[in-house]
Amino acid sequence: MVLTDSGETSEREIDDHIDLIAKTSSGAPVSVQVLAGVAIRESRFTLEVRGAEGWVKLDGNHPGGVQVGDLTLSASV
């Protein structure tokens, strides 16, 4: 892989993880997530926010990401 800023060549040492938000030439939005090297059973999504009075958590476990699978919202209150 050639680094854009320096032009140096870098050899990959870990699996790829790519998140892409883009727009097609016709203007349609596109979102892509690639989790290479991650087993399907481990491709979970979790967003947890903690505060002084509790927490709220959004979970999903579909390999297609949060845009495809069912989500579970839970809270401590």
pLDDT, tens only, 1-12: 566 677 788 776
| pLDDT confidence of residue 28 | 87
| pLDDT confidence of residue 1 | 58
Task: Report whether pLDDT(67) > 70.
Answer: yes
Count of CB atoms within 10 A of residue 7's CB? 7
| pLDDT confidence of residue 55 | 94
What's the whole-number mean pLDDT along residues 32-44?
73
Token pair, residue 36, equals: 């290479």
| pLDDT confidence of residue 57 | 93
Across the strands, what pairs with 30? 22
More confident residue, 64 or 72: 72
Measured CA to CA, the distance from residue 77 to residue 69 in angstroms comes to: 25
β-strands 45-51, 54-60: how paired? antiparallel
pTM above 0.75, yes or no: no
